[in-house]
Amino acid sequence: MWYLLCKYVLIGPALRLLGRPRVEGLEHIPRTGPVIIAANHLAVIDSLYLALVIPRPLTFLAKQEYFAGTGLRGRCTRWFFTAAGQVPVDRTGGDAAAAALAAATSILERGGAWAIHPEGTRSRDGRVYRGRTGALRVAMATGAPVVPVVLAGTDRMNPRGRKLLRFTKVRITVHPPRHYPAAVHHAQVRVATDQLMREIATLSGRPYVDRYAATFAG
């Protein structure tokens, strides 16, 4: 209920006014059944634009710190991420990483759509960075197709270090789904992940960087 209310009444209209989103390729998203939406990551606002333009309800996995704040700001942050369809998970690694992948698998086993930014954090400079392997590990384990999505313009609307959003043009391009057979070795998952991120970089017209994006605050 909150998801739809935010999408069509509370947040969505403002996002459409601010970003005038242009969307291409929605026909590539399966109407039903499990699917993984894998997008590049330019700004905090990215997940909201994905939720806005993709017709199916999306579920994201967000770090649990977003849901643990106190006071008015903490409540607003928690409400914001819940409204965006995000589920809190511990993403610190080890057992926490396994729990996050289990949560994603559960979403897909229920026939849902899981959205993820494989880079794990926003790009500092707009380039596409090396992806974490979680999305492909889950895809190979569940058989869910992976739909690459390219975002453009969200970094101009929501620049790092600025609280206010700017008027700009946002473009979201959805590409045909990729299907991945089950992997026997971790090296296969790594190779497939690198290939996916290179494809996203090529489709976005941005350079690919074969290292993980640095985590930063703000």
The pLDDT assigned to 147 comes to 98
- Residue 18 tokens read as 């601010």
CA atoms within 13 A on the CB side of 4: 3
User: Each residue of 151-198: pLDDT tens digit?
Assistant: 999 999 988 777 788 999 999 999 999 999 998 788 999 999 999 999
Give the span between the Cα atoms of 178 and 122, in whole angstroms: 23
Q: What is the dihedral of CA 171, 189, 105, 102, to 10 degrees?
A: -120
How many independent structural domains does the chain possess?
A: 1
Does 60 reside within a domain? yes
Does 129 reside within a domain? yes
User: Each residue of 28-46: pLDDT tens digit?
Assistant: 999 999 999 999 999 989 9
User: Each residue of 8-30: pLDDT tens digit?
Assistant: 888 899 999 999 999 999 999 99
- Residue 160 tokens read as 């790092």
User: Each residue of 55-77: pLDDT tens digit?
Assistant: 999 998 876 666 666 777 667 66
pTM for the whole structure: 0.88
Please name the residues in contact with 205: beta carbons below 8 A apart, sequence gap of 6 or more. Answer: none
- Type and span of the H or E element at 39: strand 35-39
Does 216 reside within a domain? no
User: Each residue of 86-115: pLDDT tens digit?
Assistant: 776 665 555 567 878 888 999 999 999 999
Does 215 reside within a domain? no
CATH code: domain of residue 125:
3.40.1130.10
Does 162 reside within a domain? yes
Which domain, by its residues, includes 121? 2-11+18-209
Calculate mean pLDDT across residues 137-150: 97
Does 144 reside within a domain? yes
Does 36 reside within a domain? yes
Phi, psi angles (nearest 5°) of residue 182: -60, 140
* Three-state DSSP class for residue 169: coil
Does 34 reside within a domain? yes
**Residue 217 scores a pLDDT above 50:** no
The pLDDT assigned to 84 comes to 62
